[in-house]
């Protein structure tokens, strides 16, 4: 299973670098955010500021971190809904039909959607390490 996930989400050497940067930013996923005044542009998340100012990350990496943090909740909800829908459809013998929802979500997340999924998975593991039990690993292998 792990090989499949890395093959899907990491396709270029630059993706490996971005994945490591995202892993470094997981502890800051819930850091307090600065609030923007009404009518003003929302400031970047704290993790993006830390990456930019602390380790001098490139604009591209900071943009991926910003998108990953802002879309994390939506990604988690979509994964939860899709897994529930798939389970229900398998019980009824139907085919999964939510490709349009997934496709539109990927389009909304932009070109860095693979990295954003990687961040969401890393954050989920950090939030609930018990969710990655050995049962899942043995079923995949």
What are the tens digits of pLDDT across the range 51-100? 999 989 889 999 999 999 999 988 888 877 666 666 666 555 555 546 77
Helices 59-92/13-25 angle, 10° precision = 90
Using CA atoms, how far apart are residues 112 and 62, in angstroms rounded to an integer? 11
Residue given tokens 């923007």 in the structure block: 36
Q: Which DSSP string corresponds to 9-23? A: H--SHHHHHHHHHHH
pLDDT at 65: 93
Q: Which residue has the higher pLDDT, 81 or 15?
A: 15
Backbone Cα Rg of the chain: 17
C-alpha 66, offset from chain centre: 11
**pTM higher than 0.85 for the full model?**
no
pLDDT at 78: 84
pLDDT at 40: 87
Calculate what percentage of the chain has a pLDDT beyond 70: 76
Average pLDDT in the chain: 79
Using CA atoms, how far apart are residues 101 and 57, in angstroms rounded to an integer? 33
């Amino acid at each position: 299973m792990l090989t499949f996930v890395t093959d899907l989400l990491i396709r270029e050497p630059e993706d490996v670098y971005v994945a490591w940067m995202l892993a470094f930013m997981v502890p800051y996923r819930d850091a307090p955010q600065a609030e923007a005044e009404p009518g003003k542009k929302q400031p970047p998340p704290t993790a993006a500021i830390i990456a930019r100012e602390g380790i001098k990350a490139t604009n591209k990496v900071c943009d991926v971190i910003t998108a990953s943090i802002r879309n994390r909740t939506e990604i988690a909800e979509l994964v939860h809904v899709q897994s529930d829908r798939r389970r229900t459809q398998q019980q009824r013998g139907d085919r999964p039909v939510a490709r349009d929802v997934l496709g539109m979500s990927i389009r909304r997340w932009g070109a860095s959607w693979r990295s954003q999924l990687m961040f969401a998975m890393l954050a989920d593991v950090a939030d609930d390490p018990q969710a990655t039990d050995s049962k899942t690993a043995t079923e995949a292998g």
